[in-house]
Structure 1
Amino acid sequence: MGRKQTKSTPRKVIDVEPEPEPDPDRISCLPGHVIDQILTYLPIREAVRTSVLSKKWRNKWYTLPNLVFDRQCLSAAAYEDTLVIQMKFLKIVNSVLLHHSGPINIFKFSMCAPIDESLVSDVDQWILYLSRKSIKELVLDVCTEELYKIPWCLFSCQSLHHLKLHFCCLKPPTLFKGFRSLKSLDLNHVAVAQDAFENLISGCPLLEKLKLTEVGGFAQIDICAPNLKFLEIHGEYEGRSRGHSSNMLKFFDHRPHIQCLVIRSCFLKYLTAGVLPKKLPTPCMDLSHLSLSINFDDLKEISAALCLLRSSPNLRKLEIFKEIEVHTVPLTPAAYCWEKIFSAPAMPIRVRHVTIDGIFGNKLELDFIKFLLLYSPVLEKMTVKPVENFIPELMRGLIRFKRASGEAEVILEDFT
C-alpha cells in the first residue's frame, strides 16, 4: 500500500541583520607615544594604577623616564602615622625601581616626614641604582636626625644636568673633579667643607644656575663659575676681609655674565666686610634682575646696595625686601646722609621696574625711595608693599617725591 503524499508548505526565510560590532576601545587604540605622554602628567601612584585599563596599558609605567615621589604617592589616611609614612614611601620607591626598565631622566624624592636612621641604607641603594642609569636630574630631600651623607657613587654621575639636595652632607672623594655636565645646583641646609665646595663649583664648567640656602661648613664664599647666569644666596656668613681687601670685590671677581642676582638673609652684610667701593671696577653688564634684602638700619648695607645699583648699567628689575636684625643699632637721621653716600654728580640708575616690600614708611626707608625716584630717569613703575601698620607719612611721601622719569608710575599696594 503506497504512502500518502502530503503537500509540503514552503518555509519562509527571514533575513536577520548581523549585530553591530562594538565600538573599539579608544583607550587601547591610543598610540604608544601618546600613552607615554599621558603617564608623564600623572603622579606615580596614579600611573601605576593605569595597568588595569587594558592590556596595552599594562605595565606601561615600567618605562617612565621621570619618577617623582612626594606627598601625592600616599593616600590621606597614611599621614596619620609617621611610621606608616616611612614604610609606605620606602615600599613604593623600592617597588617602582625594582620593576622599572629603561632610562631614568628625572628622580625626585621629597619625604614628608623624618626617616629613621635604620632606613637610610635604602636611600643609599637608590642612589647606587640611579648612578648606573645616566640620570640627568636628581632632587633629594631626606630629613633624618643627622644630615644624610651622600654616598660616593653619586659623584660618578657625570650625566647630571640638575642637582638639588636638601638636608644633606657632601664629602666628595679626593679624586672627584666635578660634574662636567651640570647646569644647575641647589643646596639647601647642606654641610660641605670650604675646599670641597670650591672644587665642586670650579669642576662644573657648564654651571649656569646656583642657589645656596643656609649652606654650612665654611665662612668665605668663593665661587669660580665663569658661565654663571643665575645666583641666589640665603644665609649668614662670618667671613671677614682684612686690611684693604674687600668681600664685595672678591665676590664679583668671577661672574661677568651674571643676569639674575638674589641676595637674602643677611648675606648683604657679608658683602660689606672690608673695603666697600662706590662702584665695581668691572660693571655687571648682563645683570638685568637684582633682588636684595636690606637692613635699613645698617649704613654699610645701604652703601653696598648702592654700589650694586651703580655697577649695573642694564638693570631692568629691582626688588627690595626689608631685613630686620635684632642686634642692629638703629641709625639716627644725622648718620643717614644721602649727600655723603651718593656724591655729586649723581650717577643715574637705569632700572625700569622697582618693587619694595615689607617697609613701615619711616624716614630711613622713605629716603631710600626718594633717592630711587630722583636718580632713575627711565623708571616706569615702582610698587610699594608696606606692612599692615605702616606710617601714614609713607603715602604723603610717595605723592610729593620728585621723579627723574616723567613716565614713572608709583603704586602703593594694599597690605592685604
Structure 2
Amino acid sequence: MTDLTLVKSTGIPLKLPSNLFSCLGLKHLKLSYCCFCPPTSFNGFPNLLSVDLSNVEFERTQFGEFITKCPVLEILKVGDPGKVNLQITMKVDQIAKLVNLKTLSMCLRDFENNAITSFTTIFELLGCLPRLQELHLDCLRSGGAIERIPTTFSCLKALELSQIDLSNVIILSCVFDMIRHFPNLQTLNIKAHNWIADPVPLPEVEYSTTRLRHVVFTDFPGSENEVCLLKYILACSPFLRKIVMRPLWRVTTGEQLMFTKKLLKLHRASTAAEIDFN
C-alpha cells in the first residue's frame, strides 16, 4: 500500500490500526478526525512523500518526533485542530530536518510557545528549507517586533496567508518583508481578518521589484492598510496580471466604490494588470 486516506467527521475519533505502522512503503497519508497512536517500535515511514492532517490527536509520540522520522517528506499540511486536541510541540529545528520539503501548510492557532508562533521563527525556518516552493500559514501572531532579515528566499513561488490582521502594524510590516524577501514569488493569497480596526500609523515601506503575477485578497474591509499594501504590489510588480478582490460581506456598495476609486489612482508597474472585484 502506497496511499492511505482516512476521513471521519463525527463520533469518537478513529484509532488507527496497528498494522498501518508497518506499511513502510507508504507514500501519501491523509488523516482527519483520527487518533495517531503508534507502537513503541515505530521508526517512521521512510518513503512518505506527503502528510495531510486535520483534527488528529497524537498520544504516545509528539508530532514533531513523528515528522522527523519521515526523511523524504515533500508535502506537510496540518489543518485546524477543531474538535480534537492536536498536541503540537513541534520545534523549528524539527521541521528544519525536512530538507526535501516543497510545500508547507500549517494552522498555527494552537501551537505552543516553543513552536512557530511569529514571523521571526518563520524566517528562521525558511532558511533551513532550501527546496520550499509553497507556504500557507493560518492564524499568524505578531510575536513582537521582527529584526531586519538579510537573507532572501529564492525558491518560494506561492504564499498564502489566512486570517491575517492587517490592522496590526507589526503583521502588516512583516507581510511587506515576506514579499520583499521572496524575490521569485508569483502567487499571493491573503485572507484578511474580518473587522476594521481603529487607524494606526502605517509602516515605512522599502520598495523593491517583485515577480508577482496573481494576487487574491479575500474578506478585505477596505482599510487604509490594505490600500498601502496594494499600492506597494501595484508599483513593484511589472509582471502582474491580475488582482482579485473579494470584499468582506458587510462592505457596502458605496464603500467598495470608494475603495475602487483609490485603487484606480495608484501607479501600476504592469500595463497589463487587472483589478477584478467579485
How high is the TM-score relative to the length of structure 1?
0.58
CA–CA distance in structure 2, aligned partners of residues 227 and 380 of structure 1 = 31
The residue aligned with 2:178 is: 308
Q: 1:258 aligns with which of 132, 144, 149?
A: 132
The residue aligned with 2:80 is: 214
Deviations 1:219-261 (A, max 9, x none): 555323111111112340343369xx94224432432111111
State the SS of the aligned residue for 1:384: strand
Deviations 1:282-312 (A, max 9, x none): 4321111111122112222212222221221
| Backbone CA RMSD of aligned residues | 2.6
CA–CA distance in structure 1, aligned partners of residues 91 and 213 of structure 2 = 30
Gaps of 5+ in 2: none
The residue aligned with 2:246 is: 385
Aligned in 2, Cα 1:208/1:241: closer, same or farther, shift over 3 Å?
closer
Aligned in 2, Cα 1:193/1:373: closer, same or farther, shift over 3 Å?
farther
1:314-325 to 2 correspondences below 5 Å? 314-324=184-194
CA–CA distance in structure 2, aligned partners of residues 175 and 303 of structure 1 = 46
Aligned in 2, Cα 1:273/1:387: closer, same or farther, shift over 3 Å?
closer
Q: Contact 2:241 / 2:272 at 8 angstroms: preserved in 1?
A: yes
CA–CA distance in structure 1, aligned partners of residues 61 and 210 of structure 2 = 37
State the SS of the aligned residue for 2:215: strand
Q: 1:228 aligns with which of 75, 79, 101?
A: 101
Q: 2:203 aligns with which of 311, 335, 338?
A: 338
Aligned in 2, Cα 1:143/1:355: closer, same or farther, shift over 3 Å?
closer
Q: 1:240 aligns with which of 113, 116, 120?
A: 113
State the SS of the aligned residue for 1:330: coil
Aligned in 2, Cα 1:362/1:275: closer, same or farther, shift over 3 Å?
closer
CA–CA distance in structure 2, aligned partners of residues 395 and 200 of structure 1 = 48
Q: 1:171 aligns with which of 37, 41, 45?
A: 37
Alignment pair present for 1:158 and 2:18: no
Q: Percent identity?
A: 30
Q: Contact 1:247 / 1:273 at 8 angstroms: preserved in 2?
A: no
Bigger-Rg structure (1/2): 1
1:255-294 to 2 correspondences below 5 Å? 255-264=129-138, 266=139, 268-269=140-141, 272-273=142-143, 276-279=146-149, 281-293=150-162, 294=164
CA–CA distance in structure 2, aligned partners of residues 351 and 176 of structure 1 = 43
Alignment length (residue pairs): 263
Gaps of 5+ in 1: 1-134
Aligned in 2, Cα 1:144/1:412: closer, same or farther, shift over 3 Å?
closer
1:10-409 to 2 correspondences below 5 Å? 135-143=1-9, 145-192=11-58, 196-215=62-81, 216-222=86-92, 223=95, 224-240=97-113, 246-264=120-138, 266=139, 268-269=140-141, 272-273=142-143, 276-279=146-149, 281-293=150-162, 294-324=164-194, 330-332=197-199, 335-339=200-204, 342-343=205-206, 346-388=207-249, 389-390=251-252, 391=255, 392-403=257-268, 405-409=269-273
TM-aligned CA deviation for residue 400 of structure 1: 0.5
TM-aligned CA deviation for residue 179 of structure 1: 0.5
**Greater RCO (Cα-Cα under 8 Å, separation 6 or more):** 2
State the SS of the aligned residue for 1:338: coil
TM-aligned CA deviation for residue 355 of structure 1: 1.6
